[in-house]
Amino acid sequence: MTEKKIRVLVAKPGLDGHDRGAKVVARALRDAGMEVIYTGLRQTPEMIAEAALQEDVDVVGLSILSGAHMAFPMKICHASKRWASPVYMVRVHRRKISSRMSVSR
């Protein structure tokens, strides 16, 4: 029996056009055996939430260089009310990982 691959959606919200980091992370996740869906540049929170729902992903990764690193994740959580499972957000900032919030349904 084969183990289910972790499905990751990597997205670039907002108007920031720098996507090299997102592509590097997406490639590293793919090389680690995960299934990665990259949405491309300039996605709205609603577009990201809809893509995550349609693709039935396990994880949503956001690459944000614009300074809106707190606003966009909250907007995506609010746009994702149709997700069946709870949404857990982890914020990575300056090479430190910290648990940020848990949004329950």
CATH of the domain at 55: 3.40.50.280
Q: Total domain count for the chain?
A: 1
What global pTM score does this model have?
Answer: 0.73
* Cβ–Cβ under 8 Å, residues 32 and 61: no
For residue 71, pLDDT beyond 50: yes
Per the domain annotation, does 1 fall within a domain?
no
Per the domain annotation, does 68 fall within a domain?
yes
pLDDT tens digits for range 85-102: 655 555 555 444 444 444
Per the domain annotation, does 15 fall within a domain?
yes
* Cβ–Cβ under 8 Å, residues 43 and 12: yes
pLDDT tens digits for range 9-60: 998 887 777 888 888 889 999 999 999 999 988 888 888 888 988 898 888 8
Per the domain annotation, does 54 fall within a domain?
yes
Q: Domain of residue 51: give its range.
A: 7-103
Average pLDDT over residues 78-82: 70
Per the domain annotation, does 91 fall within a domain?
yes
Per the domain annotation, does 35 fall within a domain?
yes
Residue located via tokens 């793919």 = 30
For residue 104, pLDDT beyond 80: no
